[in-house]
Amino acid sequence: MSLCNSDQFYWLDRVGTGSTRVRKVRHKFNSQESACKEITPDASSMFDVRCIDAVARSNHPNIVQVQDRWADQWPTPKVYIQMELCYGDLNQYIEATREAARTSGTPIDHRAVWKIVLQIVDGLTYAHELGWSHRNLKPRNILAKANGTDLFGVPQFTWKISDWGLSPTLLPPPTVDEPQTHIPTSDDVYRAPEHRHSPSAAVDMWSLGCILFELATNGVLAFPVEAEDPTYVIDNGKATSTAAAKMSRKTPQIVTDPSGHINRVLSLCLNPTPAERPTARQLGVYIRGILGQ
Ligand SMILES: Nc1ncnc2c1ncn2[C@@H]1O[C@H](COP(=O)(O)OP(=O)(O)OP(=O)(O)O)[C@@H](O)[C@H]1O
Ligand SMILES: [Mg+2]
């Protein structure tokens, strides 16, 4: 925890939308601009501080750099995570490509999809091999950083995974004595069947499969779940009926996939048995083969 505090910054506009508050900030002395996430600690916000600090010490192009963290006690207890300022998130990208497809018939560019997925996979490989799993991987936690333009003047982006160590899934699972009903959120559509009971690195590979499906279909969810779905109840901490429902569903298939690579990776990542999913490193090798790298 640093000696930094919120008074050292000018607090500018909110960036993006989401469950917590992220603001653009400018340091009063060196004018450096960052993004700062403000979290109100409560029972549902548990942090893996070691993971946050490990991210702060690390340096990988596909992981959003944490620059500092601190807590303020006054006027109310808050935790702040200062990080590199990014441009937008993958959810916004998917919405923009869907709009382009709707208005001008732009087809899905599979090569562009693989290039994005490969960057997420490279970030996961680095993190998983250091022993961290994300557990809340979803398009809104994958951020774009502008990275110049290509030869034709088209803007280029580096994709980075954000919010390591902030997963609310670190909450203990419900016990037999304390059964708990889970209120579904939009994040649940990315969660692996075993998520709440044994959230290993393999849960991130499941989420990656869901993200690949969404990218390759211009925004169709792999496993849509209705909020009022009565199966969404945690069953005494042993198994969820949602998990059972996910396992019994067939892996969704991409209709337009002449190469077969997308459907193959989907069936690997969305395997209900975590141990049978590929590691991030294995998937990286496969995708580099597709891209001829
Ligand atoms: N470092 C950043 N730079 C620029 N924009 C950011 C940054 N971090 C977050 N954002 C924007 O803020 C939005 C909200 O982020 P936040 O993490 O609060 O919500 P969320 O990802 O939906 O929820 P959570 O991660 O808590 O499950 C993101 O979708 C993104 O657009
Ligand atoms: Mg987030």
- Name the residue with the closest Cα to ligand 1, atom 13: 16
The answer to the question of residue 242 being in a domain is: yes
Picking from 53, 83, 113, the residue at the C-terminal end of a domain is 83
- Name the residue with the closest Cα to ligand 1, atom 26: 19
133 and 209 share a domain? yes
Residue numbers of the chain with a pLDDT score lower than 50: 170-171, 179, 227-239
Q: Comparing C-alpha atoms, which of 147, 157, 141 is closest to residue 37?
A: 141
251 and 193 share a domain? yes
Picking from 47, 62, 83, the residue at the C-terminal end of a domain is 83
59 and 112 share a domain? no
24 and 59 share a domain? yes
Domain that residue 28 falls in: 6-83
Picking from 83, 108, 128, the residue at the C-terminal end of a domain is 83
Neighbours of 216 (CB within 10 A): 23
The answer to the question of residue 101 being in a domain is: yes
Distance from the alpha carbon of residue 15 to the mean position of ligand 1, in angstroms: 8
Distance from the alpha carbon of residue 211 to the mean position of ligand 2, in angstroms: 15
Nearest-atom index, ligand 1, CA of 21: 18
115 and 194 share a domain? yes
Contacts of 211 (CB under 8 A, 6+ apart): 90, 117, 120, 137, 138, 139, 142, 190
- Name the residue with the closest Cα to ligand 1, atom 19: 18
129 and 192 share a domain? yes
- Name the residue with the closest Cα to ligand 1, atom 16: 18
147 and 77 share a domain? no
Q: How many domains does the chain have?
A: 2
CATH of the domain at 122: 1.10.510.10
Task: Evaluate: CB of 64 within 6 angstroms of ligand 1.
Answer: yes
CATH of the domain at 15: 3.30.200.20
Residue 87 token pair = 């441009």
34 and 133 share a domain? no
76 and 180 share a domain? no
Task: Evaluate: CB of 167 within 6 angstroms of ligand 1.
Answer: no
Q: Which helix (H) or strand (E) holds 232?
A: none
Distance from the alpha carbon of residue 71 to the mean position of ligand 2, in angstroms: 19
The answer to the question of residue 1 being in a domain is: no
197 and 283 share a domain? yes
Distance from the alpha carbon of residue 260 to the mean position of ligand 1, in angstroms: 33
Distance from the alpha carbon of residue 17 to the mean position of ligand 1, in angstroms: 7
184 and 95 share a domain? yes
200 and 55 share a domain? no
Q: Comparing C-alpha atoms, which of 164, 161, 179 is closest to residue 121?
A: 161
- Tally helices (H) and strands (E) across the chain: 7, 10
The answer to the question of residue 269 being in a domain is: yes
